[in-house]
Every structure is written in structure tokens, then in C-alpha cells.
């Protein structure tokens, strides 16, 4: 019945520990098959929002204390990461956290664990899709992930998430610390993933890149949504041009 799920974050509050307020009444929608950018300065709460959706907030001593998060018919607030992955929602954490001591292939297989027990063929299929997207990884299947370049590690982190065949991918600052050429490559990859039917919620400091990819965008400021709208319209507003696109 639920062929075209969308993500609905509805007026959530998030706190860390007992009292640190990180998000206040934040609402956001990612339509089925869409690309949505989430912009904001350091500490605005972008990562916190992704954690709330992917069920990883509790690992950081955080909690959703008000509001709701739904993906299609599935309630995601208060659930764990396994529930989110089962629903088709997978997060790529910031800082391209790969298992440095494991090979490329072993890293990818950790992303497909949920698939593996049921059908090895599914894992092979998922891996073939990842290698088609990232030929560099296919050439390095037996290399330790820690020996890859920064850009290759980011690709591996994305590839590992794709092993779970997400319908919604949560991407946390994929361009961080990468050379411009690699940033352009990551942008192409996001387009390609989206064109294959996966929706993307993209957290970025690189507002120019994010707005060029996204259909719509939200700007977070100290835990609250300040601006939202169509990406091309937001890119033309004075506030976004000055604060996030570095124009004067």
C-alpha cells in the first residue's frame, strides 16, 4: 500500500543529556525520490536532525522529546537504527567513518549484513551496483580501507550505506575536506544515486554544491529552521547568498 514513502519530520524537539536543547520545533519533508538540502553553520543541529531520523540519537545520549518522525507509514521517533534501515532509511555518517583495518570488500559487506543471511545473491547484486557507481572501489576490493584516499573513503562510506538498498539516504557533509575535483565527483554520485530512485537528505557546509543538487532546502540556525523553500529560490535570497554562498 505504501509505494511512495516520504519522510515527514513534524515539530521535533531534541535534547542531549538532561537539558542541552539541540533542536526546537523542527519540521522538514523529503518527498519520495527528492533531493533536499539541509544548510547551516557549525553547531546549528544538522547532524542532530539526521541522527533523530536514523535512530542513532541515543548512541549520543540524545532524545526526541516532542514531535513525530514518520517515513511512509513507519514511525521512526524513538526507534533504533535497525528499524530505520528496515524501513529503507540509511545514514552515511560525517567524517567518512570506514573500518580502516578491514578491506574494501569487508567494509561493503558490513553494510549488507541485513541482506546477507537471507540471500547471498542480494549481497552480490548490491555490491555490483556499488562497483558500477564507484569503479575505483572495484579495483581495490582487497585493499585495507585505511590506505584509500579521503575521496575514496567517502565513496566507500556511501557504498557501504547503499549495500542496504536504501530508499532514503541521509548524507552528512560528504564534501567535507575533499579537493574540488572530488567534490564535483561526489555531486555526480548523488545525482546518479537519486536518478536510480533513492531520495537524498543532504547536509552540507558547501551550500553552492548542495543547492545546485537539491529540489528544496532548509536553513537551520541554532536549532531552529530559519528559511526553507525551493532550492533555486533560496539560492537567490540575500541572506543565503551572504551567509552561505560567500557573496557580498
Whole-angstrom Cα distance, residue 22 to residue 180? 31
> Residue 134 or 218: which CB sits closer to ligand ATP?
218
Q: Residue 43 phi/psi, 5° resolution? A: 80, 5
> Residue 8 or 58: which CB sits closer to ligand ATP?
58
- Closest contact distance (angstroms) between CB of 43 and ligand ATP is 4
- Closest contact distance (angstroms) between CB of 9 and ligand ATP is 14
- Span from 5-13, 14-22, 79-87, 185-193 in contact with ligand ATP (CB under 6 A): 14-22
Whole-angstrom Cα distance, residue 45 to residue 223? 5
> Residue 17 or 197: which CB sits closer to ligand ATP?
17
- Closest contact distance (angstroms) between CB of 26 and ligand ATP is 11
- Closest contact distance (angstroms) between CB of 81 and ligand ATP is 16
**Concatenated DSSP letters for 149-206?**
-HHHHHHHHHHHHHTT--SEEEEE-TTTT--HHHHHHHHHHHHHHHHTT-EEEEE-S-
Helices within the chain (DSSP H only): 46-54, 81-87, 104-111, 113-116, 120-133, 135-138, 150-162, 180-195, 207-213, 231-234, 238-243
64 binds ligand ATP (CB under 6 A): no
Q: How many residues bind ligand ATP (CB under 6 A)?
A: 14
Give the SS3 label for residue 77.
coil
Site for ligand ATP in 32-61 (CB under 6 A): 40, 42-48, 60-61
Contacts of 19 (CB under 8 A, 6+ apart): none
Contact 112, 128 (CB under 8 A): no
- Span from 12-20, 111-119, 155-163, 188-196 in contact with ligand ATP (CB under 6 A): 12-20
- Closest contact distance (angstroms) between CB of 64 and ligand ATP is 13
- Closest contact distance (angstroms) between CB of 234 and ligand ATP is 17
Whole-angstrom Cα distance, residue 172 to residue 179? 17
> Residue 43 or 146: which CB sits closer to ligand ATP?
43
Judged by the rule CB under 6 A, the positions of this chain that interact with ligand ATP are: 16-17, 20, 22, 40, 42-48, 60-61
Amino acid at each position: 500500500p505504501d509505494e511512495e514513502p516520504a519522510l515527514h519530520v513534524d515539530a521535533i524537539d531534541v535534547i542531549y543529556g538532561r537539558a542541552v536543547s539541540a533542536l526546537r520545533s523542527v519540521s522538514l519533508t523529503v518527498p519520495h525520490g527528492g533531493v533536499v538540502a539541509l544548510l547551516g553553520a557549525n553547531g546549528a543541529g544538522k547532524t542532530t536532525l539526521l541522527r533523530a531520523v536514523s535512530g542513532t540519537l541515543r548512541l549520543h545520549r540524545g532524545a526526541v522529546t516532542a514531535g513525530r518522525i514518520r517515513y511512509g507509514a513507519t514511525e521512526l521517533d524513538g526507534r533504533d537504527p535497525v528499524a530505520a534501515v528496515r524501513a529503507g532509511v540509511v545514514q552515511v555518517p560525517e567524517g567518512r567513518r570506514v573500518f580502516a583495518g578491514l578491506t574494501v570488500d569487508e567494509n561493503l559487506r558490513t553494510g549488507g549484513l541485513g541482506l546477507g543471511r537471507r540471500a547471498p545473491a542480494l549481497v552480490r547484486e548490491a555490491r555490483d551496483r556499488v562497483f558500477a557507481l564507484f569503479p575505483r572501489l572495484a579495483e581495490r576490493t582487497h585493499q585495507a580501507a585505511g590506505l584509500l584516499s579521503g575521496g575514496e573513503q567517502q565513496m566507500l562510506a556511501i557504498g557501504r550505506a547503499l549495500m542496504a538498498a536504501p530508499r532514503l539516504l541521509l548524507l552528512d557533509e560528504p564534501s567535507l575536506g575533499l579537493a574540488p575535483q572530488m567534490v564535483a565527483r561526489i555531486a555526480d554520485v548523488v545525482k546518479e544515486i537519486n536518478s536510480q530512485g533513492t531520495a537524498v537528505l543532504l547536509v552540507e557546509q558547501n551550500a553552492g554544491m548542495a543547492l545546485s543538487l537539491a529540489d528544496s532546502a532548509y536553513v537551520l540556525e541554532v536549532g531552529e529552521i530559519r528559511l526553507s523553500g525551493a532550492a533555486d529560490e533560496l539560492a537567490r535570497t540575500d541572506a543565503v547568498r551572504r551567509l552561505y554562498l560567500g557573496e557580498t
